[in-house]
Chains A and B, each alone.
Chain A
Amino acid sequence: EAQVTQNPRYLITVTGKKLTVTCSQNMNHEYMSWYRQDPGLGLRQIYYSMNVEVTDKGDVPEGYKVSRKEKRNFPLILESPSPNQTSLYFCASSLGLAGGHYEQYFGPGTRLTVT
């Protein structure tokens, strides 16, 4: 089944404790992206990657890191989480931009709470 998977789905952590949220897609998509979703603010892009070893900042990149060493994986890293990073996080992927394939397919979400 074609899908985007994220782990963990739920995470409660403490301020300053490094964490990684994994994202994997099995559709051989070139483009991958991370969003956070907050009440009243909708979905905001954190980082995106157009291909392996190519990453760029989105609208709200502060406090986050990403890497794209393999095509299928795009982990989101919080080196020192803070309470304002409590949010619902979504990973998404799309076939690629060159062919005009802009529609993105989303994972199930990771609900992160930082205390």
Chain B
Amino acid sequence: GESVGLHLPTLSVQEGDNSIINCAYSNSASDYFIWYKQESGKGPQFIIDIRSNMDKRQGQRVTVLLNKTVKHLSLQIAATQPGDSAVYFCAETLAGGADGLTFGKGTHLIIQP
């Protein structure tokens, strides 16, 4: 599938601040998007998802925004905590999901005390 990319390989934020992690996708046919968190030594963990018919979805301390016009996806983490330190991946799939997920290269979120 076409690639899903992230703007920054590393993002450093102060503890307590809000974090915004960005992702650009190139396939306008993508129907479903997911954010994953991967802590050191572990497999990716599902955080939140959004379908292409939505532009915003909120979870606990996290919000995903989808701008289909510019093919941009973002993950906002409120009041960043030390436990949020991880690599964050966006992933996309086409309608039906049969081709599986295509992942971006990841952004390493570093929390400064």
Knowing A48-B100, A50-B98, A97-B97, say if A109 contacts B106 (CB, 8 Å): no
Query: Chain B binding site: helix, strand, loop or mixed by DSSP?
Result: loop
Specify which chain A residues have a CB less than 8 angstroms from the CB of B106 in the assembled complex. 42
A92, B97: Cα distance in complex, Å = 14
Say whether B43 contacts A108, CB under 8 Å: yes
Q: Residues of A contacting B104 with CB < 8 Å?
A: 42
Q: Contacts A107-B43, A108-B43; is A102 near B1 (CB within 8 Å)?
A: no
Contact present for B89 and A102 (CB under 8 Å): no
**CA of A50 to CA of B36, assembled, Å:** 21
Please name all residues of chain A whose beta carbon is closer than 8 Å to the beta carbon of B83 when the two chains form the complex: none
- Asked if A2 lies at the interface with its beta carbon under 8 angstroms from chain B, I say no
A residues less than 8 Å from B100 (CB atoms): 33, 45, 48, 58
A41 at the interface (CB under 8 A from B): yes
Contacts of A108 in B (CB 8 A): 42-43
Contact residues, B74-102 vs A (CB, 8 A): 89, 91, 93, 96-98, 100-102
Identify which of A45, A100, A107 contacts B101 (C-beta below 8 A): A45
